[in-house]
């Protein structure tokens, strides 16, 4: 068990009522502005005290209102990374990093400076002051400072929200390494689907102060009903794959998964590495026969698992490709024209561009 929350709390007119458990390495708290994500993180971190309920993490009970338990925040050993890095301006990077360690008893310090510096790629910045760092570099130092306090749990509250797209892209691989190479579980607040798809092992979806759904990322990403109108186009399947070859002549990489083989634009990742790809539901075409003479390179065969449609224009079709579920969003008219029904063998056609670099990421290793 990583984190277990079952609380009720009132903040002015806002009522928060959340219950979930997650054993994931990186649990994303995802939801629109005002849904209660930050309040939840503040309750876990001990900055807020719930009216009622229980919060435990890594086997330790932090709050249990019934039993009269409330562990104050400085005793929880929880690391915080905020949207703004909040570094000490008068200290250089090395001193900012060391500061994180002072509050941890010697015997409980499990991360050494060299390892954290290497993990976050900040070795060349150690003598600089924060004013001489880019936004992304500052945030990496802030993460390092939090890690060096050897936290039991790391809370990251929209750590990329203040950065532009280029800085976000620069910092994401470091958060992936943090997730995969340290033992510290992470609770990560975001309202970005791209961040959820890329970074999260598990997702808690918040809406209006309540948990609308929670579960593994692949499951949640297929729940288009959880997304807003603007976000729906971003929803789809998240598939963990392995790089099986690079085709230098066409600048492509070949990825393998239970669903079959796909070709994506060339990755710098070595053969054998895990990558996670996102296949947006809107980018999947369904064919009832294996298509020929098509420019799309990726054709996965499977069977229709289910179709959900209301009276609207669109239908969501789940295709079971040898155990890997691929979601397609097509028109209800196409569903009818192709006589689609559960059990019917079909081909899911995915344009290669759907696997563009921005959507291709190092995979979550199994728990
Ligand atoms: N101390 C407080 N007193 C009264 N209302 C509060 C207090 N703190 C938060 N709220 C309200 O609780 C609701 C949830 O806020 P919260 O910051 O947790 O949402 P959020 O999902 O993190 O939003 P965002 O993505 O914009 O940061 C908001 O309506 C906010 O106005």
Confidence of residue 367 (pLDDT cuts 50, 70, 90): very low
Angle formed at CA 30 by CA 138 and CA 175, multiple of 5 degrees: 35
Ligand 1 centroid to 156 CA: how many Å? 16
pLDDT at 255: 92
pTM: 0.85
Ligand 1 centroid to 35 CA: how many Å? 7
Q: In what order do the strands lie in the sheet with 260-265?
A: 260-265, 252-257, 236-247, 274-280, 360-362
Q: What is the pLDDT of residues 118-142, one digit of tens each?
A: 889 999 999 999 999 998 999 999 9
Ligand 1 centroid to 150 CA: how many Å? 29
The distance between the two most distant Cα atoms of the chain, rounded to a whole number of Å, is: 69
* CA-proximal residue: ligand 1, atom 10 (nearest): 11
pLDDT at 3: 92
Q: What is the mean pLDDT of residues 330-351?
A: 94
**What atom in ligand 1 is closest to the CA of residue 31?**
21
With CA atoms as reference, report the closest residue to 110 among 82, 152, 69, 143: 152
Q: Which residues pair with 35 in a beta bridge?
A: none
For the ranges 83-87, 100-104, 120-124, 350-354, the one whose mean pLDDT is highest: 120-124
Confidence of residue 292 (pLDDT cuts 50, 70, 90): confident
CATH class of the 3-221 domain in this structure: alpha beta
With CA atoms as reference, report the closest residue to 331 among 340, 322, 323: 340
Evaluate if residue 67 carries a pLDDT over 70: yes
Ligand 1 centroid to 34 CA: how many Å? 5
Angle formed at CA 185 by CA 103 and CA 45, multiple of 5 degrees: 55
Evaluate if residue 361 carries a pLDDT over 50: no
Angle formed at CA 25 by CA 24 and CA 28, multiple of 5 degrees: 70
* CA-proximal residue: ligand 1, atom 2 (nearest): 11
Query: What's the CATH code, domain 238-358?
Result: 2.40.50.100
Q: What is the mean pLDDT of residues 329-347?
A: 95
Q: For residues 98 and 101, what is the distance between their CA atoms, to the nearest angstrom?
A: 5
pLDDT at 359: 44
pLDDT at 20: 95
ipTM greater than 0.85: yes
* CA-proximal residue: ligand 1, atom 6 (nearest): 11
pLDDT at 366: 34
Confidence of residue 352 (pLDDT cuts 50, 70, 90): low
- Give residue limits of the domains in the chain: 3-221, 238-358
With CA atoms as reference, report the closest residue to 187 among 206, 170, 169: 206
User: Exposed, middle or buried by CB within 10 Å (0-12, 13-18, 19+), for 253?
Assistant: buried
pLDDT at 365: 39
Q: What is the pLDDT of residues 5-52, one digit of tens each?
A: 999 999 999 999 999 999 999 999 999 999 999 999 999 999 999 999
**What atom in ligand 1 is closest to the CA of residue 40?**
18
The average confidence (pLDDT) of the chain is 88
Ligand 1 centroid to 53 CA: how many Å? 19
């Amino acid at each position: 068990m990583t984190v277990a929350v079952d609380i009720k709390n009132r903040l002015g007119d806002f009522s928060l009522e959340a219950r979930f458990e997650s054993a994931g390495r990186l649990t994303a708290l995802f939801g629109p502005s005002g849904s209660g994500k930050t309040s939840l993180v503040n309750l876990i971190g001990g900055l807020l005290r719930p009216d009622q309920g229980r919060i435990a993490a890594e086997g330790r009970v932090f709050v249990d209102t019934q039993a009269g338990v409330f562990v104050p925040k400085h005793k929880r050993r929880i690391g915080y990374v905020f949207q703004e890095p909040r570094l000490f301006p008068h200290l250089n990077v090395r001193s900012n990093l060391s500061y994180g360690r002072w509050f941890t008893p010697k015997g409980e310090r499990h991360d050494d400076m060299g390892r954290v510096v290497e993990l976050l790629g900040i070795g060349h910045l150690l003598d600089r002051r924060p004013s001489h760092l880019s936004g992304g570099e500052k945030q990496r130092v802030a993460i390092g400072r939090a890690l060096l306090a050897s936290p039991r749990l790391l809370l990251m509250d929209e750590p990329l929200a203040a950065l532009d797209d280029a800085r976000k892209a620069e910092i994401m691989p470091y958060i992936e390494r943090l997730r995969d190479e340290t033992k510290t579980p992470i609770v990560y607040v975001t309202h970005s689907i791209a961040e959820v798809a890329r970074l999260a092992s598990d997702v808690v979806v918040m809406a209006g102060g309540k948990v609308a759904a929670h579960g593994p990322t692949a499951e949640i990403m297929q729940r288009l009903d959880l997304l807003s109108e603007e976000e729906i186009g971003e929803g789809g399947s998240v598939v963990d794959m392995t790089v099986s070859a690079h085709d230098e002549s066409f600048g492509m990489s070949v990825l393998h998964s239970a669903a079959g083989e796909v070709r994506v634009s060339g990755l710098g990742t070595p053969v054998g590495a895990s990558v996670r790809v996102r296949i947006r539901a809107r980018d999947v075409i369904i064919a009832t026969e294996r298509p020929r003479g098509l420019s799309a390179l990726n054709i996965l065969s499977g069977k229709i698992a289910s179709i959900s449609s209301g009276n609207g224009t669109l239908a969501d079709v789940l295709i079971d490709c040898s155990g890997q579920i691929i979601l397609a969003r097509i028109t209800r008219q196409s569903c009818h024209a192709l006589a689609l029904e559960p059990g019917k063998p079909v081909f899911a056609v995915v344009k290669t561009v759907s696997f563009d670099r921005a959507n291709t990421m190092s995979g979550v290793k199994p728990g």
